């Protein structure tokens, strides 16, 4: 029985690891994550003049800024200004792009449109709530590759990650424990449970207990 392999085409990534987000840390290539979302603000940054409103975004480029936002409203955190007793946006790292000023100003548009944190045009995916390490072993060549993946990803999406190491990955049956994996399901749904918490509790080295996925060649080599 052959594994349920997807077509070998590039698919848009749904989930990203924190390490992947952190690689985008310049003004020309700036990503942020917050409240489980991953946003690419590069187009926005390149069309904005320099100034203080960009400083917090540049300072936290490639990082998670969930602490800036209220998880219930999805908006920037607010607080009561002790001087005016009025509710204001709470930006301890400095006011940033699309946050209105504390008081009336002639240079602030009253209807600037959706702020970047609510604008779906900038969202490129979701931040994984839990990443995992797996070992992918090619039984034909005996090559082994450690791969960090998102726990929410299906095996087909993990295969997409692995294509950079083996462009013919679709020509293999993916197995674990002698059972063919369902490529439409996640690792956990295929029985490869995440034991990180248990291993940490037992003070065992997680790297020594990384689950392995075995690739068995199907003898129908696809084009890379």
Q: What is the pLDDT along the chain (224 residues), one digit of tens a residue?
A: 344 444 555 567 799 999 999 999 999 999 999 999 999 999 988 887 668 889 999 999 999 999 999 999 999 999 888 777 788 899 999 999 999 887 666 566 666 679 999 999 999 999 999 999 999 999 999 999 999 999 999 999 999 999 999 999 999 999 999 999 999 999 999 999 887 777 566 565 666 778 999 999 987 555 54
* CATH architecture group of domain 18-127: Roll (3.10)
Distance from the first to the final alpha carbon of the chain:
23
Other residues' Cβ atoms within 10 Å of the Cβ of residue 122: 19
* 89: β partners: 78
pTM for the model stands at 0.84
In sequence order, which residues have a C-beta less than 8 Å from that of residue 155 and are 6 or more positions away? 174, 181, 182, 183, 184, 185, 186, 187, 190
Helix (H, G, I), strand (E, B) or coil at 65: coil
CATH number of 130-217: 3.10.20.90
Structural domain spans, the chain: 18-127, 130-217
Nearest to 119 by CA among 98, 101, 90: 98
């Amino acid at each position: 029985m052959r594994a349920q392999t997807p077509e070998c085409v590039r698919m848009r990534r749904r989930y990203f690891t924190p390490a992947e987000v952190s690689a985008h840390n310049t003004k020309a290539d700036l990503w942020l994550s917050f409240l489980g979302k991953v946003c690419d603000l590069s187009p926005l940054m390149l069309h904005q003049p320099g100034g203080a409103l960009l400083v917090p975004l540049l300072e936290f480029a490639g990082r998670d800024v969930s602490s800036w936002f209220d998880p219930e409203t999805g908006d920037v955190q607010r607080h009561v200004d002790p001087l005016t007793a009025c509710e204001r946006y709470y930006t301890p790292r400095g006011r940033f792009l699309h946050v209105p000023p504390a008081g009336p100003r002639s240079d602030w548009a009253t209807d600037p449109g959706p702020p970047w944190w609510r604008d779906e045009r900038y969202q490129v995916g979701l931040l994984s709530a839990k990443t995992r390490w797996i070992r992918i072993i090619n039984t034909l060549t005996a090559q082994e590759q450690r791969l960090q993946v998102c726990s929410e990803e299906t095996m087909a999406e993990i295969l997409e990650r692995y294509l950079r190491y083996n462009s013919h990955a679709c020509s293999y049956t993916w197995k674990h424990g002698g059972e063919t994996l369902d490529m439409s399901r996640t690792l956990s749904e295929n029985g490869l449970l995440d034991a990180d918490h248990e291993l940490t509790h037992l003070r065992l080295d997680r790297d020594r207990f990384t689950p392995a996925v075995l690739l068995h060649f199907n003898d129908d080599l696809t084009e890379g």
